[in-house]
Amino acid sequence: MPGGSPRRAALGLAALLVLAALVRFVGIGAQSFWLDEVVTAQLVQRSFGDMLSTIPHSESTPYLYYVLVWPWAKLFGHGEAALRSLSALFGVATVAAIWAAARELVSERAALAAGALAALNPFLVWYSQEARAYALLALLCAGSFWLFARALRLGDGRALAWWALASALALATHYFAAFTVVPEAIALALLIGRTRAWALACGGIALATAALAPLAAQQRRGGGADWIGDITLGHRISEIPKRFAAGEFGNQLGYVFWLVLLCALAAVVLLGLRASERERRGALVALGIGLAGLVVPVVSALATLDYVFPRNLIGSLPALLVAFGAALTVASARRAGGVLLAAVVVLSAVALVRTATDDRLQRDDWRSVARFLDGRHARILVTSPQDDGRALSYYMGGLLELTDPGVETQEVAVVELTRAPLRERRALLPVPGFRPIATSDAETYRLVLERSPRTVTLGPGAVLPFAFRPDDAAAYADLNR
């Protein structure tokens, strides 16, 4: 619960926010947009009404993020840094919300620890630098959890009303917010009782959910998230703790994940053996909400709807960080907790530095592909996977999908996304009648430029069977050249 010196608390929070802003804004435009961000960039370049009418067919989330990023783009532009800066602001605010939740639920020391963990958490930082809805989801789930903790302490109608508002906004950002909001509602019923104020708050959230139901049904029929089911559920579940601890490419930073996991297990031991009743109660409440946000979607996936994916579960991370911060700041084990906290902070910083300096741990570099092709005479581009042709088209200034009867060209550019080491990359079969004349190998792609001694007319049927796997390659023609 709140306590201690207000000035000291304000200074501690200010330091955390400065740190959070530094790691989120520095280098925010260094990476090119990847496919999903290109979708955002193209949406916000439409008129507001046209954007809203397109979302049910192009997205798998509700409207709120796009309603906010549209005017932001009009003010600051559509470039990488401009669009992502809104998410960075959401990310900084998320740190404040996590700090406030831990202070409300546990102690000021726990608030500083949880805030530090959030400021440097590689997963939160990654999505604070992405022009998608996930940073807003994390912020509103963190805000909902803070207001849940406040309602738990005060138990009055006003606190519950603010919690309901934050929860409804979270649901208007991403449907997976329900997996944190519903456990909060159940916890409030169990801990403060099913009062009239609680019923009204839950009723408001239910109305918001009902309003979103037709959109959710339409987007589900559209199948925009069906690709998730192509990845085995077991693999996706195993990725969740790795990414939560070490970032989007946490599976390649195993040393960070395993050491953070050891610190977390040690913190659980401290919590179980040395915590006071209030410390243990606050930590267990946070842990229960956070784990419910992970377990319930998995159970749902086993039963019927399988949309489990680490980034969809980012809303459960704030509560987990509050629990972690509480376990690391048990008053009767300050020295041991401080050592563990320092270790986790250092490991998080290592993951951030490694991600920022290793191209293989960054987004697909479509800007480099476009620069390589600039001034070339290739009128046909083949991309694998197929959908990423949209990202390349964005940076090339508008490519048109190749249709019969084909296009006349003497050059073909073939791009394959791959993060395999250079020595392990397979040779690409040339398009018949063409031979490779230039190859560009980067950490995230291989690009081969091929030339024919004479002009050849190529359509999609001629290109796809030979360039790549026919089921995941697409041909694009730059008819503007």
> Would you state the pLDDT for residue 238?
95
Task: Give the residue from 82, 145, 133 showing the smallest Cα distance to 326.
Answer: 145
Q: Between residues 431 and 354, which one has the greater pLDDT?
A: 354
Lowest-pLDDT choice from 112-126, 312-326, 455-469: 455-469
Average pLDDT, the chain: 90
pTM for the model stands at 0.92
Is the pLDDT at 391 greater than 70? The verdict is yes
Task: Give the residue from 322, 257, 251, 309 showing the smallest Cα distance to 283.
Answer: 322
Q: What is the mean pLDDT of residues 173-202?
A: 94
- Quickly state the pLDDT bin for 462 (edges 50, 70, 90): low
Q: Between residues 425 and 471, which one has the greater pLDDT?
A: 425
> Would you state the pLDDT for residue 466?
44
Is the pLDDT at 389 greater than 80? The verdict is no
> Would you state the pLDDT for residue 7?
84
> Would you state the pLDDT for residue 467?
42
> Would you state the pLDDT for residue 481?
42
Residues present in the chain in total: 481
Distance CA 242, CA 257 (A): 6
* CA 11 from centroid of its chain's CA atoms: 29
Q: Between residues 227 and 134, which one has the greater pLDDT?
A: 134
% of the chain exceeding 70 in pLDDT: 92
* CA 335 from centroid of its chain's CA atoms: 34
In angstroms, the Cα distances linking 345 to 110, 249, 336, 390, 392 are 14, 18, 14, 38, 37
Q: What is the mean pLDDT of residues 381-406?
A: 75
Distance CA 178, CA 170 (A): 8
